[in-house]
Structures are given as C-alpha cells and as structure tokens.
Amino acid sequence: MALLNRAAALLLATALTAQPVLAQQAMITAQPKPGPAVAPYFVDPASETAMPRDQVIALLRKKVKYVFVVFNENHSFDNEFGTFPGANGIYADAHGKRDAAHTPGFTQTVTARDGSSFTVSPIRLGPAQNATFRDSVDHSHTGLAHKLDVTDGTPRMDRFAQADYDRVAKAGDAKLDKMGRQFAQLVMSHVDCDTIPFFWNYANRFVLFDNIFATEDTPSTPNAIAMLAGQAGETQWVKHGSTPISAEMGTHKASLQGVPLVNDPQPFWGSQFDPNGTTYQPNSPAENYKDGNIAQNLTFASVPLTLAGGDLAAMTQQDRMPDADLADLRQDIPFVTNRGGKKVAWRWYEEGYDHEPYEPAGEAKHAGYVSHHSGPQYFGYIANNPSFSQNMRGLGDFFSDMTSGAMPKDGGVFYIRGGFTNIAAQTPPIQNANFPGKLTPADIAAINKTKSGNDDHPSYSDSMISESMAAHVINEIAANPELWAQSAIIVTYDESDGFYDHVAPRILSYGPDGLPLARGVRIPMIVISPYARTHVVSHAEGDHNAVIETLNALYDLPPLASLPEEKAALLAGEDGTFNGPNGFKQHHLGPRDINTPQTDDLLSAFDPGRLAGTRKPLPASYAMIDSKIVDTLPHYNGQGCKALGLVPTDAAQGIKNAPPAGFNTLPSTLPGYN
C-alpha cells in the first residue's frame, strides 16, 4: 500500500505540470533603469497578466525548434553576477540594498594552523588585478560540503574561506600558510561587467536566472552528466549499490569509481578499460587516466534517449554491448518507443573531441579535450552505439556545421563546450603588468600556458577568451535569420568551482558517504531568444533539471522521472536503507525533471506577447556583438561597465571592497607573489 501511495504522489506531481505556475508574478522582476538599447523592447512583467503554463508551452512549440546550450565551467552566481543590478546578489536583491548582517557568510573567520585567526569578506576584482584569469579554488566534493556547512538541514554558507585555507596550509610551513591565506581571500572574490562584459550584456538585454543551482554538490563530471540526465547515478546506486566494481584489461587492474559519481573520474569509454580501446572514443593527453580514476559504465536514462522518440528501439539495436549498456533501460526503451514521439536531433560539440581547425590535416591530437567534461561519453548506450555517438563532435564542427548549412532542418538540441585551448589562438590580456607583481616574461609565459582555455574554468581558462567563444556561437546563430527566428539559447555553468555564494541551496539528498549530494552552490544562467523577455531577472528555483524540463515541454518528451526504470528507482530510494543523516528521507535519488515550484523550468524567460504575436520578436541585432569587439582583448579596453552603461550594486552604494595589499589572484600559478 505504501508503494502505491508513493506512486500516486508521483502521479500527482506529474499532474502539476498543467498548472499555471507562471501566475506567480513575483517569480519575474524587472531590472532597474533600462538603457537606450533595451528600453524600446522592455516590458515590465508586473504590468502584464500571467499566461498559463500550458498556453506558453503550446505557443513555444510553434515558435522554437532549436535549443543551444552554451555550457561553461566553474563559477558561482555571486562570483560573476553578485553585483548585477536587480539580482539577488551580495550587496542587494530585487528589493534593494541588503546589509552584511543579512547576507549569509558575508564575513568569515578563518582559524589558521598556528591557532591565530583572520577574517575575510567579499572583494571585487577588476582590470587592476588582471581579473580575467585567476586560479581555481577548492571544488572537491568534500570541500564543497565543508563550505556549505549544513547545520540542522540548512546550509549556513560560511566556511568557504576556511575550507580553502585548510586545503593548502600545513602547520609549520610558512609558504603553504601564505598560499592558504591567499586562497581564503580568492574564494570570496567576485567580478563584474569590466571583466565579463559580454555575459553582463546578455543578462542585461535578456533574462538572468538567479535561483539556479548545481544539480550535485560536486565538481564538474557529475554535473556534466546531470545536464543530460538530471542526476549523476543515484538511480544506479539504488538499483546496484555504490560499491566500486573491479575491472581488468591487460596490465591495468583497478576498481572503477562507483555511483553516484562525486569526483572527476575519466569516462570508461575511451579509457584503458574500454574493450574497444580508443577506436570509437578519444581520450585526452592532458587528463589523469590512472587506473583508479576511471568511472564505471553509466546505464541510467538521459535526454538523448527520450529525444529518440519512436525510433529508440531501432537505434538501441546498434549497441555493441547491449547486455551491459541497456540493462537498466529494459522497460524505458519500449515505454519511449511506444509513445511514438518524433525523433529530435541532438549534438554535443566539445573542444578537442575530434580534429580541430588548428591541428595538422587529418590528425586529431585532442590537446584541448577535457574528457571528464564530456557528459555523453560516460554512457555506454551513447558512446558505444554509432547511432548515438555520431552526435558527439568537436567545437570546430559546430562552426563548420553552421556555415555549411549542416544543422538539422527540423531543429534539435545542441550543447556547446570549450576546453583547454581556444580556436582563435588568443592569449589572456595583461591589463596590469605590475600585478600581482612586476610580471616577468616567465610569468607571462606561465599565464599564457595555463590560462588560454575557452570554457571559463579558472584552472586553465581566461574569462574574456571564454566569453568570446560564447559570443562567436551566439553571433553565428543570430546571423542566420531562419535559425534565429526559431531559437532559444541557454548560457549556463556546470558548478561553482567552490567560489563563495550567499544563497543556501535546498538540500534534497545525501550520498552514500553521508555528505550533501543535491543541490550544490548556485550558478549563473541566462536565456536568450527572439521570444524572450527583456531586462528581467527570473527567480525560478531549479538546477540542471530546469533545462531538461524545458526540453520536455518544448519537444513533448516524457520526463526522465516518469520513465518506468527511473520511477521505480525513485520510489525504492525512499526506503529507509537509503536514509541520509538523522533519518533524512531520500525522495530525490534520481532525476527531478517533473515541474514543481521547488524544481522549476525556464519558461518564465519567455515573453507572452512575443509568443502570441502581439509584440514583435526581438531582432537578431539585439543579441549580436560586433566581431571586432569580440576579437579584441581586453573587451572594451577593460571598461565594460562604462561601455554598457551598467552600474554594479557595490559601486552604486559606494562600497569599499578592494582586495587587501599583497593579494595574489594566482597563488598556485605564481606562488612567488604570495
């Protein structure tokens, strides 16, 4: 009877998808003071009657066929948009300014190894600190749990600085103590429109979401997987346990990392344990392929399965190892197939996956490939099946597919990711040659070598090079009138890198290790479309499942949480065997792409008038940035806020938040300046 009651509850949750959740007008608030470029298109959402959700969906299906997801790396919302006007940021929210006492974690006290203590608060980084490139902070699963500081089920968001100090500092080691203190400051930093003017421009002109979180409280790999599946292996854990499984191939023998994934192991496919070798999937020469750093084969459902529609059964017949790859999809495959939905195209474009334009003809070196960011490569039924794996391509392929007219004529879903390098061969802009000290040629060479990636990951990327990549993608889409007229573009991130954010995520689940699993720290998300609202902030709550929910609505896909295998695992996960700390009931061990107010979609981004035809769609020029500006570093000569006419909330309030004397944004790359 209990199982039936839980099943009924899930069906009730499914029924909620028809409710007009957009009637909650407070979910969408106007940004202040639209500038001259925005004002002609701006409509205050408070002046309109909300459109029921089912009507929004019906109109969207007539208008939008193409969804592009520019999927960046490793920044918290506060780190990039914490001073964005109208958003829930560090110093203000949609209602106005907010003081430090009402901002969780604003002032953090760090206890040093020698027993002394020091305090840190948010600091603003800009051109004077060469803020387009910084070092990465602690974003390990255990480090993130430490930073959240969950107390009585609620994250206090007050241990970011302590966690980063502890990660580095060692008792009695003065150099590591100095480095730890630098990281304790760095983790509290934020940038603004002088450092990432393109992203702020898109947020200003379109829709910024300020209540979206990483799906998993983990580093990149689990969240790259969650973008496709809404989870990182929770249902596989419920079905088969979390114990790592043994693997042996030639001289290689190890335990493959178990589910749910909480670290950054390499995908099984393309690794030394892949029975196909590297025949079908690449690996990266810059990645860690130690025997103990390989993930097991993932076998739970994902969006590429539901996008296959009525063709799914035929497509899965091409799998090279069906007994292993399809074991947890036996009921899902006929369920999706029998719905008879139309097949929807998809592609995952990622830097370095195959031959890139900067490589010798016919030779793919994969130097730019970050294989642990390639979500589809972890799933055997994708990576080990040519009918699915043909959709995995390099970043250069995106641009060639666009210019050659090779994009599917009926639309589809297209994920775009950067990597260790950049196609334009740009190097980071040095805006202050005297920070963190008088930079030597060796220092600049080290920066160029370690910070020229284009996916915004602080470990190896530059923020302006990264936003240039995004701008080139968006310009390509907008330059094609037919494509722009049918598109929605989502710019978002996998996880926070561990940078400070003051908004506590809703704790939805704990992993086998007893640490918080879902959700992670808040991340940025922007929606761009000819049918988007303009100059607003959406406060809809969600995570990467919000993207999946939106795809479900747009393409009439069955929610992953409704598929027979996933639904059964979600119900089984509620058993006391899987309880979290203090008897925490696990209702979310799996995908959560069924719409509720707590796990919402992105439909609030769309303007009812533009969908209904009572207002004209936004022109492509409104989304485009001149290519000369895109290709010139630093963008706007480091004066992006002035160029865009934007005033960050700290500047508006006259807040003094410059970094302390002797601060170093590169404590690992250039430790001599610590």
How far apart CA 597 and CA 26 sit, in angstroms, is 13
For residues 61-68, give the mean pLDDT.
98
For residues 41-51, give the mean pLDDT.
92
Is the Cα torsion angle 453, 456, 460, 463 positive or negative in sign? positive
Residues in the chain: 674
For residues 645-672, give the mean pLDDT.
97
Residue 71 has pLDDT above 80, yes or no: yes
For residues 453 and 463, is the Cβ–Cβ distance under 8 A? no
Q: Which residues does residue 208 pair with via DSSP β-bridges, in sequence order? A: 526, 537
For residues 221-241, give the mean pLDDT.
98
DSSP 301-348: --HHHHHTGGGHHHHHTT-SSHHHHTGGGTTHHHHHHHHTPPP-EEEE
Q: Which residues does residue 561 pair with via DSSP β-bridges, in sequence order? A: none
Sole residue written with tokens 């390989």: 294
How far apart CA 397 and CA 205 sit, in angstroms, is 29
The reported pTM is 0.95
| Tens-digit pLDDT profile for residues 346-377 | 999 999 999 999 999 989 999 999 999 999 99
Q: How far is CA 266 from CA 254, 293, 374, 493, 495, in A?
A: 13, 6, 9, 20, 18
How far apart CA 455 and CA 418 sit, in angstroms, is 4
Number of CB atoms found within 10 A of residue 86's CB: 23
Pairing of strands 487-493, 522-528: antiparallel
The residues, any chain, with a CB within 8 Å of residue 506's CB and separated by 6 or more, are 213, 519, 541, 598
| Tens-digit pLDDT profile for residues 393-451 | 999 999 999 999 999 999 999 999 999 999 888 999 999 999 999 999 999 999 999 99
Whole-number pLDDT of residue 20? 34
The residues, any chain, with a CB within 8 Å of residue 190's CB and separated by 6 or more, are 78, 79, 80, 82, 83, 90, 122, 123, 124, 125, 499, 500
Backbone angles phi, psi at 469, to 5 degrees: -60, -45
Q: Which two tokens stand for residue 515?
A: 């640490």
Q: How far is CA 634 from CA 202, 418, 465, in A?
A: 18, 19, 9
Among 57, 32, 93, residue whose Cα is nearest residue 604: 57
Whole-number pLDDT of residue 227? 98
Residue 388 has pLDDT above 70, yes or no: yes
DSSP 481-512: HHHHTTEEEEEEES--TT----SPPP--EE-T
Among 260, 237, 293, residue whose Cα is nearest residue 517: 260
Residue 6 has pLDDT above 60, yes or no: no
Among 69, 84, 75, 86, residue whose Cα is nearest residue 31: 86
How far apart CA 110 and CA 126 sit, in angstroms, is 25
Share of the chain above pLDDT 90, in %: 94
- pLDDT category at 12 given cuts 50, 70, 90 is very low
The residues, any chain, with a CB within 8 Å of residue 533's CB and separated by 6 or more, are 28, 43, 45, 206, 207, 604, 605, 606, 607
For residues 568 and 330, is the Cβ–Cβ distance under 8 A? no
Residue 583 has pLDDT above 70, yes or no: yes
The residues, any chain, with a CB within 8 Å of residue 654's CB and separated by 6 or more, are none
How far apart CA 526 and CA 71 sit, in angstroms, is 11
Residue 320 has pLDDT above 80, yes or no: yes
The contacts found for 101-104 with CB under 8 angstroms, 24 or more apart, are 103/502, 104/156, 104/157, 104/158, 104/502, 104/503, 104/504
How far apart CA 301 and CA 239 sit, in angstroms, is 13
Whole-number pLDDT of residue 563? 98
Which comes out higher in pLDDT, residue 337 or 25?
A: 337
Q: Which residues does residue 10 pair with via DSSP β-bridges, in sequence order? A: none
Classify burial at 505, counting beta carbons within 10 Å of its beta carbon; exposed 0-12, middle 13-18, buried 19 or more: buried
Q: Which two tokens stand for residue 360?
A: 């010798």
How far apart CA 344 and CA 351 sit, in angstroms, is 23
Residue 14 has pLDDT above 70, yes or no: no
Among 406, 413, 389, residue whose Cα is nearest residue 279: 389
For residues 543-567, give the mean pLDDT.
98
